[in-house]
Amino acid sequence: MKNNQKQKFPHGFYWGAATAAHQVEGGNKNDWTKWEEQNAQRLAGKKEKIVFTIDPTKDYSDPEVKNPSNYISSIACDHYNRFAEDFDIAKKLNHNAHRFSIEWSRIEPEEGKFDEREIEHYKQVIEALKDRNIEPFATLWHFSSPVWLSEKGGWNGQRVIMYFSRYVEKIVTALSPQVKFWITINEPQIYTALCYLTGEWLAQKKNPVAHHRVFSHFVEAHLQAYKIIKKCNPQAKVGAAKNLIDFEVAGNNPWNILLKKIGRWWGDYRYLDLIKNDADFIGFNYYFHNRINWWFNRNENKKVSDLGWELYPEGLYNILMDLKKYNKPIYITESGLADAKDAKREWYIKETLKNAQKAISSGVDVRGHFYWSLLDNFEWNKGFWPRFGLVEVNYKTLERKIRKSALAYAEICKNNFI
C-alpha cells in the first residue's frame, strides 16, 4: 500500500499533450512557409540518416524523405479546422490539460493590423478545451513569426521586443479571462542554435553575434510578456518552455567535470537564471541526454528514436532534481519521441513518468506532463516523416488513428498513477 501511494501523482496533476500552431494547423503564411518553399528541394536532396525502430540495422528509409512535398507544411493536420474533433480525442484519452500555441502571423498578418476573426478563432479553441474540462496552456511564440517581422530581421531585428509586446498585449487582453497558464517563449536556445550557430533554420547564419543578440531578445521578450500578462490578470501563471539537457560525466576527471559545468550553464540554466524572478513556474522540454567523455555527446545510444535521438528516460529525473533549486512549480511542457511503428513509445512514456514520480517523491514540485505530441505533425526542417503523435495522422485523408501507446498513457492519466 505504502509503495502504491508513493507512485501516485499529486492531486490535481495536469495530464495532456502539446502541439504548436505551425506544426498542426495548416494554412499558415509565416516565415516558415516562405522558407519551406525556398528550401524543400534542397532538403529532399539531402542525404538523411534515418534509423527506424524495429531493426536499426535495416534501412527502412522512409521514401518521404526524398519527396520535396514532405518539407512543405501546407494544410499540415488541418487542426485549424478540426480542433474540436482533436480535442474530443484528447478527452477520450483522459487528458485534463492541453498545450497549444497561438500563431502570431494569424493575429497580426500585417504590421500593426490585427485580425479580429483570428482572435475569435483562438477564443473558440479555448472554449472547446474548456467545454471538455481540459485546461488550456497557451504558448505565445513557438518558433514561427509573421513574414513582415522576418523582413525586418526577425528576432535579430532592433524593434522585435516592441513588436512582440504589442502582439502579446493584444492577444492576452482578448484571451486572458479564459487562460490561466501562459508560456511566453518556446525553447529559446534551440531556435538560436539552429538559426545562428548550425545555420539549419530560417536565417541560416553561422553568426555568434546574432546568436547572442537573439538570445538577449528572448530574455527581454519573456520579461515584457510577464509584465503584460500580470497586468491583465494578476492571477495568471506565466513561464517559458526551456529545453534542458541532462549532462552526464563519464569518468570523474576534472576536464569532464568542467565541460559539464559549462554545458549546464551555457545550455540549460543561463536563460532560466535570467528570467527566474519573473516566472511563476518552470516549463521544461525534455529530449536530450549528453554524456561527456573528453568531449560532448559520447552517448551510448542503446535505444534511439526514428530520428536517431538517444532515449534516456533517467535524464528526466536528473534534471528535475536540479530544478528543485528554483523552488517553483514545474511543468514538463514537452517530452516525447518520433516512433512511426509505435514500438518504443509506451515504454518511453512509462519510464519518463517513473522518473518524474521518483523526483516528486524526493520533494520536487512537478505539477503536469505534456506528451509531445497529441498528433503526428510537421517537424520543422525534417517535415512530416518523423511521427511523434499519440495519434497517427494519415496526411492523404487526414484521418486520425489512436496509437496503442496513447491508450497506455490514457490509463495513467485516468488513474493519476503509474
The interface with ligand BGC within residues 89-148 (CB under 6 A) comprises none
Enter the C-alpha cell of residue 61.
528509409
Helices (H), 14-103: 21-24, 31-45, 79-92
Q: Which residue number, 86 or 187, has a Cβ lying nearer to ligand BGC?
A: 187
Classify burial at 294, counting beta carbons within 10 Å of its beta carbon; exposed 0-12, middle 13-18, buried 19 or more. exposed
Helices (H), 93-207: 104-107, 116-131, 147-151, 160-175, 188-196
Among 28, 105, 285, 299, which residue sits at the site for ligand BGC (rule: CB under 6 A)?
Answer: 285
The least distance separating ligand BGC from the CB of residue 211, rounded to whole angstroms, comes to 17
365 contacts ligand BGC (rule: CB under 6 A): no
Residues 102 and 240: their CA atoms lie apart, in Å, by: 14
The least distance separating ligand BGC from the CB of residue 401, rounded to whole angstroms, comes to 20
CB 77 within 8 A of CB 85: no
User: How many residues line the site for ligand BGC (CB under 6 A)?
Assistant: 11
Stretch that binds ligand BGC, among 119-127, 184-192, 214-222, 293-301 (CB under 6 A): 184-192
48 contacts ligand BGC (rule: CB under 6 A): no
Binding mask 317-336 for ligand BGC (x = CB under 6 A): -----------------x--
Residues 316 and 232: their CA atoms lie apart, in Å, by: 34
372 contacts ligand BGC (rule: CB under 6 A): yes
The least distance separating ligand BGC from the CB of residue 202, rounded to whole angstroms, comes to 14
Enter the C-alpha cell of residue 56.
536499426
244 contacts ligand BGC (rule: CB under 6 A): no
Stretch that binds ligand BGC, among 33-41, 59-67, 185-193, 342-350 (CB under 6 A): 185-193
CB 104 within 8 A of CB 144: yes
For residues 38-47, b (16+ Cβ closer than 10 Å) or e, as one string? ebbeebbeee
- Give 148's contacts (C-beta < 8 A, 6+ positions apart): 110, 111
- Give 266's contacts (C-beta < 8 A, 6+ positions apart): none
Q: Which residue number, 280 or 379, has a Cβ lying nearer to ligand BGC?
A: 379
Residues 7 and 338: their CA atoms lie apart, in Å, by: 27
218 contacts ligand BGC (rule: CB under 6 A): no
- Which residue type occupies 96? N
The least distance separating ligand BGC from the CB of residue 118, rounded to whole angstroms, comes to 21
The least distance separating ligand BGC from the CB of residue 416, rounded to whole angstroms, comes to 26
Name which of 183, 307, 291 is nearest 240 in CA terms. Answer: 183
Among 379, 395, 408, 417, which residue sits at the site for ligand BGC (rule: CB under 6 A)?
Answer: 379
31 contacts ligand BGC (rule: CB under 6 A): no
Quote the DSSP letter at residue 267.
I
393 contacts ligand BGC (rule: CB under 6 A): no
Q: Which residue number, 119 or 197, has a Cβ lying nearer to ligand BGC?
A: 197
The least distance separating ligand BGC from the CB of residue 20, rounded to whole angstroms, comes to 5
Among 9, 14, 17, 20, which residue sits at the site for ligand BGC (rule: CB under 6 A)?
Answer: 20
Beta strands in 199-318 (DSSP E): 237-249, 282-292
- 373: preceding bond cis by omega (within 30 degrees): yes
- Give 373's contacts (C-beta < 8 A, 6+ positions apart): 17, 18, 19, 23, 24, 336, 388, 389, 390
The least distance separating ligand BGC from the CB of residue 56, rounded to whole angstroms, comes to 19
The least distance separating ligand BGC from the CB of residue 381, rounded to whole angstroms, comes to 10
Stretch that binds ligand BGC, among 70-78, 186-194, 263-271, 408-416 (CB under 6 A): 186-194
Q: Which residue number, 190 or 374, has a Cβ lying nearer to ligand BGC?
A: 190
Stretch that binds ligand BGC, among 33-41, 46-54, 182-190, 357-365 (CB under 6 A): 182-190
The least distance separating ligand BGC from the CB of residue 345, rounded to whole angstroms, comes to 14
Which residues are at the interface with ligand BGC (CB under 6 A)?
Answer: 20, 23, 186-187, 190, 243, 285, 287, 334, 372, 379
